[in-house]
Amino acid sequence: MLNKELLVARGIEKADLVLKGANIINVFTETIEQADVAICDGFIVGIGEYEGQEEIDCYGKYIAPGFIDGHIHLESSMLKPVEFAKAVLPHGTTAVVTDPHEIANVSGMDGIEYMMEASEGLPLDVYFVLPSCVPATAYDESGCILKAQDLEPYFHNKKVLGLAEVMDYYETIHGDYDILQKIADAKSHHKIVDGHAPGLKGKEVNAYIAAGVQSDHECINMKEALEKLSLGQWIMIREGTAAKNLDALMGLFTPPYHQRAMLVSDDKHPYDILTYGHIDDMLRQAIQKGANPCIAIKMATFNTANYFGIKDTGAIAPGYKADIVILSNLEKVKVEKVIKNGKLIIKDQNQIELMEPIVRKEILDKVYHSFHCDEIVAEDFKITPEEDVAGVNYYRAINFVKGEITTRSIKVPLINGKPEIVVADDILKIAVIERHHNTNHIGIGFVHGYGLKMGAIASSVSHDSHNIIVIGTNDTDIAIAANCIRDMQGGWAIALEGKIIANLPLSIGGLISNLDAVTLSENISEMKGIATSLGVEEGIDPFMNLAFISLTVIPELRLTTFGLFDVSQQQLVPILI
């Protein structure tokens, strides 16, 4: 077979496919050069003048390597892998590196097996990094706990590229045995170790990197990014549905920093993918803000492949996989055609028909039946502070930050000596209800900056343990919305005046829908529209931002099934202060 490729490369035999007269984005020289591209048996074999059995006229077009998302949680798209592939392939994404820690927190290794089997054989390359923190911290109640010995056998899988974001940076730098063993296992198999350390700096970030963590996707400004990059980390520039850091990190698109930076989405809803795009949208934004298109595309292709060790991928050059995006407009990153493994699979952003991979029945049974909790009543949300309230004048509230997944802790004056909902001041009640082991644990707190004026909004998507999270203006609607989630085996729900007015089932682990991207996007838009009509603040995603309120590894104040959690202090804190 190789001899055939050599004959084609030498111009003695015709190529299977030739892209004629293309303007090639050269990721090695960061320049554009015009030539034919010869493809044989799924690989690029020549750049120059070639003839092919099939030829595509690319004069006036630009061709780039297929885009690679270097950090995503496929579950956060709420799409099954086959539907996700259908959504992103027309946008030029030909590979993703996914961390399945969302479904692993629900179903453990069964969840990881589901994602692997459900993505097998798709024309989208789905690579995996193994969840490092299930649960995220010891203060979380998730469906499963994964130790180093659970993960180690999976490092032998060729689709597994490394250890996923090491979120519990506190325990990492303090020498937690199991986390350090996971890192050691990854390195012993010559795999990468991804990071997650928002705001970590100085000697603490030195310790974190010394532990073996090689990247970070949580930088929100250039100062943080440059400190970590200068210490040897790769920086992932993130632009998702909730967390948007592209603007703040535009300086990374310039030499020399761009050599160790890549583009990722992390969490992106289907509406945003269908409406704005995927990695192509990040490229479009970066170029419009002044980035060199060749550099930006390199950061979305070759850099990512290089960091993860994905062989023969990420460049238009002999010996590289023929995963190619044909652009009709470079500045607007307008995807016209997509070639995967040397075959034209997308033309004019058409939808592709794909067969859904077969998943074992025993795995499906686990992920479709993941709720184990009692019915919830309004009285469950009453607050009876145990501590002496003498001299106490305030209670804590979690303050949303627009455009970010970080939060702030604020003080709110007590109402008649008690913490209360004050809708007029945008002080709402929030609860996290354990749903995996029927412990009846319910953490209760208050939030500001969400904007809801009536009713309640609930979801089973609450990072990373994915218990039921619900926010509302009264205890009755809070209970009704939460019970709807329980009864659906997961999803979103909106309650108003004692009844459910809208709901969206997410029956796979309480995270993933059975709908296609277009239908799901329409349902999401309808749900968000209703939430907005009930007062949710502009700039706050009613469900995505809500989902992160329980994530105990993002500053500053969070809510778990045990109560309020101060991330900087790494401890539970009382409501009253």
What's the rounded Cα separation, in Å, for the pair 476 and 481? 9
pLDDT at 137: 87
What's the rounded Cα separation, in Å, for the pair 207 and 320? 37
For 79, the token pair is 């799409």
Give, in order, the Cα–Cα distances in Å from 559 to each of 447, 539, 562.
10, 21, 8
pLDDT at 388: 55
445 has which bridge partners? 430
- Is it true that the peptide bond before 464 is cis, omega within 30 degrees of 0? yes
DSSP letter for 167, please. Answer: -
Q: Are 443 and 431 in contact (CB under 8 A)?
A: yes
Predicted TM-score (pTM) of this structure: 0.93
504 has which bridge partners? 492
For 500, the token pair is 């459910």
Q: Which residues contact 540 (CB under 8 A, 6 or more apart)?
A: 400, 402, 449, 450, 451
Pair type for strands 15-26 and 31-40: antiparallel
Residue 452 has a CB neighbour count (10 Å cut-off) of 23
CATH architecture, domain defined by 67-306: Alpha-Beta Barrel (3.20)
End-to-end CA distance of the chain: 72
500 has which bridge partners? 495
Residues of the chain with CATH 3.20.20.140: 67-306
Residue 275 has a CB neighbour count (10 Å cut-off) of 11
Q: Are 264 and 70 in contact (CB under 8 A)?
A: yes
What's the rounded Cα separation, in Å, for the pair 222 and 225? 5
- Residue environment code for 242-251, b if the CB has 16+ CB neighbours within 10 A, otherwise e: bbebbebbbe
Question: pLDDT tens, position by position, for the chain (577 residues)?
Answer: 578 999 999 999 999 999 999 999 999 999 999 999 999 999 999 999 999 999 999 999 999 999 999 999 999 999 999 999 999 999 999 999 999 999 999 999 999 999 999 999 999 999 999 999 999 888 999 999 999 999 999 999 999 999 999 999 999 999 999 999 999 999 999 999 999 999 999 999 999 999 999 999 999 999 999 999 999 999 999 999 878 899 999 999 999 999 999 999 998 989 999 999 999 999 999 999 999 999 999 999 999 999 999 999 999 999 999 999 999 999 999 999 999 999 999 997 777 889 999 999 999 999 999 999 999 999 999 987 655 566 789 999 999 988 788 899 999 999 988 999 999 999 999 999 999 999 999 999 999 999 999 999 999 999 999 999 999 999 999 999 999 999 999 999 999 999 999 999 999 999 999 999 999 999 999 999 999 999 999 889 899 899 999 999 889 999 999 999 999 898 999 999 8
